[in-house]
Amino acid sequence: MDHATESDSRKLLGRLRDALAGDSAGQERLDRVTTIIADAMGVEVCSIYLFRDAETLELCATEGLLPDSVHKTRMRIGEGLVGRVARDKRPLNTADAPAERGFRYMPETGEERYSSFLGVPIQRLGETMGVLVVQSKEKRAYSDDEIYGMEVVAMVLAEMTELGAFVGEGAALAPLHRRAVTFRGGIGQEGSAMGHVWLHEPRVVVTNPIADDPHEELRRLDEAIDSLRASVDELLATADGADKDQMQVLEAYRMFANSRGWRRRMEEDIARGLSAAAAVEKEQTATRARMAQVPDPYLRERLHDLDDVSNRLLRILTGQGSETGAEMPDDPILVASNIGPGELLEYGRRQLRAVVLEEGSIASHAAIVARAWAIPLIVHAGPIASEALNGDLVLVDGEHGVVHLRPEASVIDSFKDKLAMEAAQQERYVSLRDKPAESTDGALVKLSMNAGLMADLPSLDTSGADGVGLFRTELQFLTQSRVPRRDELAQQYSRVLDRAADKEVVFRTLDIGSDKVLPYMKSQDEPNPALGWRAIRVGLDKPGVMRMQLQALIRAAAGRNLSVMFPFIAQLQEFRDARALLYREVEHERRLGHRLPREIKVGAMLETPSMAFAPAQFFDEADFISIGGNDLKQFFFAADRENERVRRRYDTLNVSFLNLIEMINRRCVEAGTPVSFCGEDAGRPIEALVFAALGLRSLSMRPASIGPVKHLIRRVDLGALRHVIDDARASGAQSVRPAVVEFLYRPQTSS
């Protein structure tokens, strides 16, 4: 390594530290920074561009360009060479800028005199804040050492920008983490909430990015890496029972903790003048930039491991763990990059108002828990975890997938009106709690609730549900690091039946696979997991866990009625095999002398189009059938419900889909087999009304939907609505929704 270069870099950072330490205003600091960098680099021009909004860069300070262009010159991301650096998040080095692809001449700056151009992104942990540029008249490419030195300087500028060192007038110099920001994401669970941010993993703040004593910083880095190695070795030593995938992750952690190349790069950063924490964060930023460029999923996963190891090291160096001493607000809205079901359930006792995730999916573990709690969940909500601060006001609109962070007063007022209106509606629904969901023409519809936790069951009383149409049993498996014991499950299921009293509970057997992978189960590398090895396919191929769960259900019932439903049945033989497995366990329990259920009903979830056309024996042999609307709809339209581009393209009230639902209902009626519709659409009042008009007399939904659905059913003549639906279908309409909505706007007789 060139020691002269190290010394020059340290001197430059030392001058920058002195410039930043004064009492000058943000604009004055920025101006001094550009002068210092230009002088140290021996160039005529140094400019700093910062984002004024998500798409627009603004020239905020310059040495060498015309002063009048400051705060006037702007460009879109991707526009010109500066915009390219911001978009690509990597340096651009050219000896002849005007000849470079995408060059944009800005006459107000006077930059036509300068040939060479070096731009590096000012970025921190994947978030680009701006671009640092140097230019000179001489046609020359900048050396690797000069590029490296500029990246070190840009790292310091990113940290100081984060700490508010350059706050001034105008949007580009506005304080970070104070602006109103709107994020759009996927809807994991509907609903509206207003509260204050509680970060699952508060970000680490590097308060001193410039080293006072490089030798001391190297010592601190050595100690932190030794501590990291020891903690990873300890995890490996205690993870003997972990599955192969968990062991691979820990081995990757150990590999990175012992990586000489990773360590050497951080040591070089320290030698150039960065503090140990800033050096770690610089490498972490570089890792995240590479993650965005790598298409290979395996390499991305390894880079993700390195990012996680860097984060662990950073927390060791700064002492900033997840416990910051901050107090959780009374109305917490959890904000995180991602979160597992066990971690999320830990928050349950503290009454979260909503959950907002940067990652996640609408069918993830977190979504299952959020639905069980009936709280709004937004997934894929942009970089909210790095933008939000603990205590920030946040509005979550789960109906439209929108999150307002630090909203303007007008947005707050409108949202409060929305919440007040929803609260008034809920009050109105409370009065219907003990009344039947009976239409004006006398059709009675059974409204059951979906559940998955003991905490859900008080909703049986408060919502007026007729029973539990779907109890998801996988949550007890997803939230533990080992397979639950049979007696634990039996106790849990018994408590559920106790709480439900005389109301029916339909237990769905373990529905895992796809995106619901047990922590102790080896994940399957499948090209399309939703169509892969999941649910009943896993249960029949690996019957040990399923047998244990069936035994627990039988023992829990002990003299009471038991309803068991098998998920994702795709052919008649799968249902017969699963039912035979249940009856074998009943016989086994009988031989052991255990008390058996009074009555056992065995049903199936109809989630694949194949079962709509199943042999008549399927409908005859099943004691009941539940139409699993979420999966059935995605397979019917070949539209992945995780894919926002296609998910909303197809209407549930599409005539073709309604024809399928009506056919399933007709086949069940002919066989005398009870049928219900279960899924998100069952809880949407208009959709629920149409299903009822087509003849479905049982619907299962989240507890909060029962009031709105019941309210609408009690106002409508289902026979009259059926004629409207039939007329719309006969007319060749693609969807019956317009005709139904028009019908509902006519005066209805309420009861």
Q: How far apart are CA 630 and CA 607, in angstroms?
A: 8
H-helix or E-strand containing 313? helix 297-318
The partner residues of 184 in beta bridges, in order of sequence, read 402
Q: Specify whether the CB–CB gap between 40 and 272 falls below 8 A.
A: no
3-state percent breakdown (helix, strand, coil) of the chain, nearest 5: 50, 20, 35
CB within 8 Å of 97: residues ≥ 6 apart: 81, 103, 114, 115, 116, 117, 135
Q: Which residue has the tokens 């049979």?
A: 486
The secondary structure of 74-140 as a DSSP string is EEETTSHHHHHHHHHTS-EEES-GGGSTT----GGGTGGG--EEEEEEEEETTEEEEEEEEEESS--
Dig out the tokens for 323 from the structure. 């416990």
**Sheet of 377-379, strands arranged across:** 181-184, 402-405, 393-397, 192-199, 332-336, 354-357, 377-379, 186-189
Beta-sheet pairing, 186-189 with 468-472: unpaired
Residue 59's H or E segment, with its range, is strand 56-63
Structure tokens at 334: 């959890």
Max CA pair span of the chain? 95
Structure tokens at 215: 């030798």
If you search the block for the tokens 């210092």, which residue do you land on? 36
Question: Alpha-carbon distance 66 to 258, whole Å?
Answer: 50
Cα separation of 185 and 402, whole Å? Answer: 6
Distance in angstroms (rounded) separating the CA atoms of residues 342 and 475? 9
Positions marked active-site: 365, 678
Dist CA 346 CA 343 (whole Å): 5
CA-nearest of 459, 497, 496, 447 to 475 is 496
Nearest-angstrom CA–CA distance, 70 and 44: 16
Task: List all residues 6 or more positions away from 602 whose beta carbon is below 8 Å from its beta carbon.
Answer: 564, 565, 566, 579, 582, 622, 623
Q: Confirm if 484 and 736 have CB atoms less than 8 A apart.
A: no
How far CA 229 is from CA of 246, 247, 363, in Å, comes to 17, 15, 36
Phi and psi at residue 409, to the nearest 5°: -60, -40
CA nearest to 375, candidates 194, 193, 183, 642: 193
Q: Can you tell me the distance from the alpha carbon of 45 to that of 48, in angstroms, rounded to the nearest whole number? A: 10
